[in-house]
Amino acid sequence: MSLGGIILQGLVCGSVLRVLPIARAIEKGRAVDRIEFEEDSFSHGSPTPPTDTDINGYMTDVASVCTIAAYQSVEGRIRARWGNAHRGWPLEVQYLRLLRHAVAHGNKFTIRKSPDGSTGINPKTPPTWRSSNMTSDDEMDGKQLFNEFLMPGDIPVLLSDIRQVLGKRP
């Protein structure tokens, strides 16, 4: 696994992942606590290093693509296993669904209830991932996803956790 790098003889060269054991843990489906990124791996020989804004924009773009692709690739399995009623899905899967929607709405949460109330956040059982909770429609609506609610580097860890949730037997 390499994000922005090339794998040569089992080593990642030029990767944004600073700690290669984290990449190996994600590949094997083990939980990881955090991911750190190297800033200088983006220089690609350019005369001036990129600014923090350039790197943050790049990481946000990568995290956005990963979030949408991950959700879309498993949505059919989710619906087949837990049905179409989102509130009946595991809390982590509900969380991923709302992240996907935030990415699709310009990196902002847009929480709207349908007439039957099924698409809003249920404050009694809010979408949750680890210690992060989406407690109510009012709290989340309009909030920026990346760099306010989550950091882009959280996405690989979340997706590793989601993979484990999807692998559990009912």
For residue range 92-115, list pLDDT tens digits in order.
999 999 999 999 999 999 987 767
Per the model's pLDDT, the better-predicted residue between 6 and 31 turns out to be 31
- As given in the structure block, the two tokens for residue 160 are 């590793």
What band does 27 get if pLDDT is binned at 50, 70 and 90?
low
What does the alpha-carbon distance between residue 45 and residue 96 come to, in Å, rounded to a whole number? 36
Give the integer Cα–Cα distance in Å for 17 and 13: 10
- Residue-wise pLDDT for 126-136, tens only, equals 999 999 999 88
28 or 60, which is more confident:
60
pLDDT at 36: 57
For 28, 32, 50, 163, the CA distances from 21, given in Å and listed in that order, are 10, 10, 26, 18
pLDDT digits (tens, 9 = 90+) for 66-96: 999 999 999 999 999 999 988 899 999 999 9
132-133 and 128-129 beta bridge pairing:
antiparallel
Cα separation, 96 vs 159, in Å, equals: 8
pTM: 0.68
